Amino acid sequence: MLDRLRSPLERAYLRYLHRRVETVPTHVAVIQDGNRRYARERGGDAPDGHRAGADTTERVLDWCADLGVSELTLYAFSTENFERPDEELEPLFDLLEAKLLEFADADRVHDQGVQVRAIGDVDRLPLRVREAVDYAEERTAENDRFTLNVALAYGGRTELLDAAHSVAREVAEGDLEPDDVDVETVERRLYDRPIRDVDLIVRTGGDERTSNFLPWHANGNEAAVYFCTPYWPEFSEVDFMRAIRTYQAREASWRRARAERAAALVRAVAEVELAEARRVARRLRGRLPRSDLDAVAEELPEGGAVSEPAPTATGTAVDGADGESEPAG
């Protein structure tokens, strides 16, 4: 009975979540964690979990297309993954090769205008995977509505270190002046980088860390982060929409903070300008006829009216700061 009710409830909840979407991230990055644990808990091997995770990847692409996300980066294979045993790596390489070839020829990929790009130290991968990467990139090169980055043999610190080495080498050789090194200088030396900064990172599997993933494009942009407990093969559209809501809440918080900072700046500027206007008005007292004083008062904000000079024995007092006559009192 409970299972029969769950599906209608989930559909209703999904409709509710979709109605609540006001802002959509441009670039979503996903750390697909939990494939091996998913397989082990079901009595299978790691390759079984990776194959189940590949099905989730295809569904996420559809969800992104439905919402209007423009770019998706998947952490498919990290530099640390090379340390896994060969009996796990070889089936994983087989799966990467097969999925890249399959994806490159899929009608829906071309219907959705998906362009596939690999980022990472791809040269470390087996030849068959590199050839599949080349094929997928060439087949989808003309598509321009959605960008899918597949992070393969990727490590964020290695990427930044390689960029730093490249900059240092050019400076040492005299091809680059140290004062000319800026953000663009570094970005040009990163891997075939994402087109856009990352707005939202999603990590499945229960761990709350970003694991050396896109430090320049995510941390530099202060991306929103959504951690969830389902393993990647179990990741559902409801989980995805909750991630979108996390991004939306962060954006709303930023908008409030920006509005508060802008209001504080306006108040600060207004206070400075009002203080300056009052200072000038004080210096004009006693020099202008009453009609002109009234005209100045009308230009001042509320509370900034020019008061009549108080009568004194001499009518003026000497301002000690600049030596000009000023009404006493």
* Residue 252 C-alpha from the chain's centroid: 14
Q: Which residues contact 259 (CB under 8 A, 6 or more apart)?
A: none
Which of 62-66, 199-203, 250-254 has the least mean pLDDT? 250-254
pLDDT of residue 259: 54
Phi/psi of residue 115, each to 5°? -105, 125
CA-to-CA distance for 177 and 172, rounded, in angstroms?
9
Catalytic site residue 221?
no
User: Residue 11 corresponds to which tokens in the numbers above?
Assistant: 């559909």
CA-to-CA distance for 226 and 242, rounded, in angstroms?
8
CB count within 10 Å of CB 99 equals: 19
Give the residue with greater pLDDT, 254 vs 225.
225
Q: Pairing relation of β-strands 317-318 and 325-326?
A: antiparallel
pLDDT digits (tens, 9 = 90+) for 260-317: 555 555 666 656 666 666 676 666 565 556 655 565 565 555 554 444 444 444 333 3
Q: Looking at 3, 33, 123, 239, which residue is catalytic? A: 33
Mark 286-312 as b/e (b = at least 16 C-beta within 10 Å). Answer: beeeeeebeebeeebeeeeebeebeee
Of 3, 8, 10, the closest CA to residue 242 belongs to 10
Catalytic site residue 33?
yes
Angle value at C-alpha 134, between 132 and 138, nearest 5 degrees: 120
The pLDDT-based confidence of 101 (bands split at 50, 70, 90) is very high
pLDDT of residue 72: 96
Tokens 């990055």 -> residue = 29
pLDDT of residue 204: 97
pLDDT of residue 311: 46
Whole-number average pLDDT of the chain: 81
pLDDT of residue 270: 59
pLDDT of residue 114: 95
Give the residue with greater pLDDT, 262 vs 70.
70
The pLDDT of 162-166, averaged and rounded, is 85
For the cut 90, the answer to whether the pLDDT of residue 254 exceeds it is no
Q: Looking at 45, 48, 62, 81, which residue is catalytic? A: 81
Sheet strands (E) in the chain: 27-31, 71-78, 114-119, 146-154, 200-203, 224-227, 317-318, 325-326
Return the axis-axis angle of helices 86-105 and 127-139, rounded to nearest 10°.
Answer: 20
Give the residue with greater pLDDT, 162 vs 97.
97
The pLDDT of 7-33, averaged and rounded, is 88
The pLDDT of 188-209, averaged and rounded, is 84
Q: Among positive and negative, which fits the CA dihedral 135, 138, 142, 143?
A: positive
For the cut 50, the answer to whether the pLDDT of residue 322 exceeds it is no
